[in-house]
Amino acid sequence: MNRWGLLIMGCALVSLPATGQENDAVPLDYRSAQQRLLERSDALAATNADVRSKAATVGATHSLGRPDVDFEGQLLEYQKTLYLPLGSLAPVAQAFGIPDPLRFRRQETAVRPIVTISLPLFTGGLINATKTGARAKLDQAQADHRGQTNKALLQLVQAYYGQQLAEQALGIRRDVLAGLDQHLADAQKLEREQFISKAQRLQAQVARDDGAREFDKAVGDLSTANAVLAGLLRTPQGIRPTTPLFINRQPLEPLAHFKQAALDAHPELHRFRALEAQAQAGVAIERSKHLPTIGAFGQYNFDRRDALLTDSDWAVGLSLRYKIASGLGRNQSVAAARETLYQAEAGRREAMVQIEIGVTKAWNDAEAARSHFLSLNSALASAQENLRLQNLSYREQQATSLDVVNAELGLGRARIQRAQAAYDYVIAFAQLLELSDQIIEMPEFAMGSDRELP
């Protein structure tokens, strides 16, 4: 197959596997992709539903401490027997055949409509602790939602710019393959004219075949990247990213700035603080079980005609309740609640250490990628010039086929390293933003970059 046939086959490979959905793919800049993720992510929908659930629970606790009003309606079929001693009248009654004591029996159907009002006056802190615990659970749900959002956005950055990197790599591999095809054609021509040996032509052939395999791999990588981004954004027809890889020439703000931002805003720390508040509420609830509860109550019977003899027309009073003994050890319950609090406090301290480590790593990775990218500018220019000179020298028999192949591969390697450095910078920078709870602002940072890869 001649070089033109090889180039046509290469273009077909690009158009089919890599962008087989090109006509239907949705072009999206990063800001639009982020908005689509926030609207369509099922994971975020689940955590948002949890937030709404906990918010409703908090609303339900607002009325704790107010009077409870209960209506009770009973339909009774009953029988009641009463005995009335006659006392000193017993001899007189016996003279008239009246037994002592007198016995009365009543059997009938009755309706008992009763309203009871109860008001807690003292609960040992149970009500306040219950409200606090509900609010802490809401705080935890909100922190979980924010953390899940940040993780989803970081995943989007990796997928969105990962597809951009895959497209860059495929374009570079295609250019390298075209260059190796051209070199192989030149080598075949020179071999026919006996200017080079068969061994040199075979070197060109081997290099070209390696380039074709790298190209095929790049096609597969891009196809995978397409599937990942399309699935993440729930867009089966595919996504065509339009926001390029970027890098800022200026150094990042100091490491201490990002560390402080992360310690102030990271959702995981808010989550542990919410767990601590829940644990403190749990301790208060267990302690309340050691104290009596006092309440006021009132009761009114709306049907006094059918009332039982032991029923009152109305009643008001105070109640005191204290559990003297329980099958569940109350001291151990308090101790267990305290240990839960210690667990949350230890978890928060550990999270702070891990977050600082993560910030340090991401900051160093971003700075290293930025420096690497900038240093590759001169290397890229040198590789381009070296390839030009090696091609000229080869045609004049001043260089070998291996020299041209190495120059071609060196240029491709420099271009891929440059694209990889930009990707590494974007990912490390996104990790910094995720750790400091600022990744939602990624579109603004991308728009404000001073260097973009075409």
pLDDT of 135 over the 60 cut? yes
Check if the beta carbon of residue 111 is closer than 8 Å to that of residue 306: yes
- Mean pLDDT value across residues 90-110: 77
User: Do the bridges between strand 246-247 and strand 26-28 make them parallel or antiparallel, or are there none, so unpaired?
Assistant: unpaired
- Mean pLDDT value across residues 418-438: 95
Q: Which two tokens stand for residue 8?
A: 């046509």
**104 phi and psi angles, rounded to 5 deg:** -120, 135
Which residues face 300 on adjacent strands?
115, 314
Window from 6-10, 70-74, 116-120, 326-330 with minimum mean pLDDT: 6-10
Instruction: Write the pLDDT tens digit of every residue in 105-115.
Output: 777 777 878 89
The predicted structure's pLDDT at residue 99: 81
Q: Which of 81, 99, 80 is nearest to 90 (CA)?
A: 99
Check if the beta carbon of residue 253 is closer than 8 Å to that of residue 370: no
Instruction: Write the pLDDT tens digit of every residue in 154-188.
Output: 999 999 999 999 999 999 999 999 988 988 898 89
Sign of CA dihedral 172, 173, 175, 179: positive
What is the C-alpha end-to-end distance of the chain, expressed in Å?
32
The predicted structure's pLDDT at residue 172: 93
Separation of alpha carbons 56 and 78, rounded Å: 44
Domain coordinates of the chain in residue numbers?
3-40+124-289+327-452, 68-122+292-325
Separation of alpha carbons 99 and 90, rounded Å: 8
pLDDT of 396 over the 90 cut? no
pLDDT of 434 over the 80 cut? yes
- Mean pLDDT value across residues 450-454: 65
The predicted structure's pLDDT at residue 13: 39
**What percent of the chain is modeled with pLDDT above 90?**
56
pLDDT of 41 over the 60 cut? yes
- Mean pLDDT value across residues 379-393: 89
pLDDT of 287 over the 60 cut? yes
3-state DSSP of 164-177: HHHHHHHHHHHHHH
**Residue 410, CA distances (Å) to 169, 262, 389, 400 in order:** 14, 41, 13, 15
**pLDDT band for position 43 (cuts 50, 70, 90):** very high
Across all residues in the chain, what is the average pLDDT? 87
Report the half-sphere exposure of 292 (CA within 13 A, side-chain side): 9
Q: Which two tokens stand for residue 93?
A: 């009654």
- Mean pLDDT value across residues 421-436: 95
- Mean pLDDT value across residues 375-388: 89
Where is pLDDT greater, at 4 or 50? Answer: 50
Beta strands in 239-360 (DSSP E): 239-241, 246-247, 293-301, 314-321
Fold of 3-40+124-289+327-452: Outer membrane efflux proteins (OEP) (1.20.1600)
Angle (CA) 185 186 187, round 5°: 90
pLDDT of 368 over the 90 cut? yes
Check if the beta carbon of residue 351 is closer than 8 Å to that of residue 269: yes
Phi-psi domain of 52 (left: phi exceeds 0; alpha: psi -120 through 50; beta: other): alpha
pLDDT of 6 over the 60 cut? no
Where is pLDDT greater, at 415 or 454? Answer: 415
**Residue 98, CA distances (Å) to 83, 93, 94, 286, 371 in order:** 13, 5, 5, 62, 117
pTM of the model: 0.81
The predicted structure's pLDDT at residue 195: 81
The predicted structure's pLDDT at residue 12: 39
Instruction: Write the pLDDT tens digit of every residue in 308-323.
Output: 666 778 889 998 988 8
User: Could you say which DSSP state residue 120 is in?
Assistant: E
The predicted structure's pLDDT at residue 3: 39
The predicted structure's pLDDT at residue 452: 66
pLDDT of 189 over the 50 cut? yes
Window from 172-186, 206-220, 293-307 with minimum mean pLDDT: 293-307
